[in-house]
């Protein structure tokens, strides 16, 4: 059953009541403006609640949005500020959403506006009251990734890769779609999602990625939860020799191939040795394995051959000493799944290749 607006606002009221009734002796009065000499004010916000415990009284004016990203919350804050100007009262302004992102919460704090979500996560500061709660999972986002899946679908990721590889450049929809080899509809979806999160800006010249660090950290969280099923093999050859043979075989057969993981990171930003190589191969893994003499192995495997999720995996790959290596962006994503020193290698890559001088990956 589709929830109506009244159903959603009822849920929002219940969530706020659950937070406020923890205050000692608090009594709640809802929508006082509908019964006042200023009933028109009730139409300017979604609802109000007045808290009275005998010693103090405060009224909270609440505006609810269906999403808790910065752009939507700024719209809610603008509406609340218009309400504040018209009412000429000192009501405490609050925005609510099913789930509020970290960026959205930061916007609220910058504007000195309270916020809460339907799980009870909140920051409310009025009078002598301070309530802050974090970490409660939202029922509306159960078993969902932290960000709308459309942003990190295979086609959408092609768009992100192009934007990320040229952060200084601005793009119109049609040229960006052509460069990423996707539809203009896909570009429009990605554009809107980036603008909602304020990770990009739209100026006269087009769309420009302005927060590549935030995008990559969030993307890496989603990527790290994905579980690829590589084919496992073993070789007695030195890994460097096996890698060269695989690269030569792929080149001679016209197939896409590239190193990734710690093997690729070592070539782009050497830090630590590795004892297992991971490769992307756009073909039958058995063909490549037999072509250079790898043996199938479940235990003790030191070669992993993975199918690419999408051809975007190979965007901006580099050739180092005759060996193709995925881009630093793709390496960073893949290192999130490396159990052995993957985090350390990813941090080194961040500082030396992706964002030199910026060590803040948290």
DSSP string of 18-68?
HHHTTSTT-EEEE-GGGGSS-GGGGGTSSEEEEEE-SS-EEEEEEEE-S-B
Residue 279 lies in a domain: yes
Return d(Cα 335, Cα 337) in angstroms, integer: 5
What's this model's pTM, rounded to 2 decimal places? 0.70
For residue 339, give the CATH number of its domain: 3.30.460.40
Same domain for 334 and 237, yes or no, is: yes
Cα distances from 252 to residues 288, 296, 310, in angstroms, run 12, 23, 22
Same domain for 9 and 130, yes or no, is: yes
Residue at a domain's end among 224, 244, 261:
224
Residue 179 lies in a domain: yes
Return d(Cα 192, Cα 195) in angstroms, integer: 5
Same domain for 120 and 172, yes or no, is: no
Same domain for 238 and 349, yes or no, is: yes
Residue at a domain's end among 117, 141, 165:
141
pLDDT of residue 147: 43
Residue 359 lies in a domain: no
Same domain for 168 and 96, yes or no, is: no
Q: What is the dihedral of CA 297, 333, 337, 256, to 10 degrees?
A: -10
Residue 210 lies in a domain: yes
pLDDT digits (tens, 9 = 90+) for 31-61: 988 887 777 888 899 999 999 887 788 999 9
Q: Can you tell me which residue has the tokens 């992100």?
A: 160
Same domain for 212 and 244, yes or no, is: no
Contact status, residue 305 vs residue 289, Cβ threshold 8 Å: yes
pLDDT of residue 140: 52
Contact status, residue 62 vs residue 78, Cβ threshold 8 Å: no
Query: By residue range, what is the domain housing residue 93?
Result: 5-141
Residue at a domain's end among 118, 141, 164:
141
Which secondary structure element, helix H or strand E, spans residue 355, and what is its range? none
Same domain for 310 and 215, yes or no, is: no
Return d(Cα 165, Cα 328) in angstroms, integer: 10
Task: Compute the average pLDDT of residues 61-80.
Answer: 91
Which secondary structure element, helix H or strand E, spans residue 93, and what is its range? strand 92-97
Same domain for 255 and 167, yes or no, is: no
Cβ burial, residue 214 (10 Å; 0-12/13-18/19+): middle
Same domain for 20 and 65, yes or no, is: yes
Q: Can you tell me which residue has the tokens 């009412």?
A: 87
SS3 88: coil
For residue 219, give the CATH number of its domain: 1.10.10.10
Same domain for 153 and 114, yes or no, is: no
Of 308, 330, 318, give the one whose Cα is nearest residue 220.
Answer: 330
Same domain for 113 and 85, yes or no, is: yes
Domain count, the chain: 3
pLDDT digits (tens, 9 = 90+) for 196-229: 889 999 988 899 999 999 999 999 988 988 877 8
Q: Can you tell me which residue has the tokens 């995925």?
A: 326
pLDDT digits (tens, 9 = 90+) for 230-255: 999 999 999 999 999 999 999 999 99
Same domain for 242 and 134, yes or no, is: no
């Amino acid at each position: 059953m589709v929830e109506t607006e009244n159903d959603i606002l009822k849920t929002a009221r219940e969530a706020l009541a659950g937070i406020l009734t923890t205050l000692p002796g608090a009594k709640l009065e809802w929508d006082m403006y509908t019964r006042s000499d200023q009933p028109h004010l009730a139409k300017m916000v979604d609802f109000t609640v007045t808290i009275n415990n005998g010693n103090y009284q405060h009224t909270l004016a609440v505006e609810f949005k269906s999403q808790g990203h910065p752009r939507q919350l700024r719209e809610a804050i603008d509406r609340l500020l218009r309400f504040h100007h018209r009412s000429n009262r000192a009501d405490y302004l609050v925005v609510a959403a099913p789930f509020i992102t970290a960026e959205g919460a930061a916007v609220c704090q910058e504007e000195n506006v309270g916020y809460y979500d339907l799980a009870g996560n909140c920051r409310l500061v009025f009078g002598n009251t301070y309530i802050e709660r974090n970490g409660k999972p939202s029922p509306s986002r159960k078993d969902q990734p932290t960000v709308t899946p459309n942003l990190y679908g295979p086609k959408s990721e092609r768009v992100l890769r192009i934007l990320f590889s040229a952060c200084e450049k601005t793009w119109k929809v049609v040229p960006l779609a052509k460069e990423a080899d996707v539809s203009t509809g896909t570009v429009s979806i990605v554009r809107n999602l980036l603008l909602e999160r304020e990770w990009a800006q739209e100026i006269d010249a087009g769309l420009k990625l302005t927060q590549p660090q935030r995008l990559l950290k969030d993307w890496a969280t989603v990527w790290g939860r994905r579980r690829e099923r590589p084919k496992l093999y073993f070789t007695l050859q030195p890994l460097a020799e096996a890698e060269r043979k695989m690269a030569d075989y792929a080149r001679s057969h016209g197939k896409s191939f590239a190193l990734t993981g710690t093997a690729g990171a070592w070539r782009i930003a050497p830090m630590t040795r590795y004892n297992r190589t991971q490769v992307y191969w756009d073909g039958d893994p058995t063909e490549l394995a037999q072509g250079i003499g790898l043996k199938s192995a479940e235990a003790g495997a030191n070669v992993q051959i993975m199918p690419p999720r999408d051809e975007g995996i190979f965007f901006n790959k580099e050739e180092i000493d005759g060996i193709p290596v995925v881009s630093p962006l793709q390496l960073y994503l893949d290192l999130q799944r490396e159990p052995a020193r993957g985090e350390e290698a990813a941090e080194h890559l961040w500082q030396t290749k992706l964002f030199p001088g910026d060590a803040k990956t948290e």
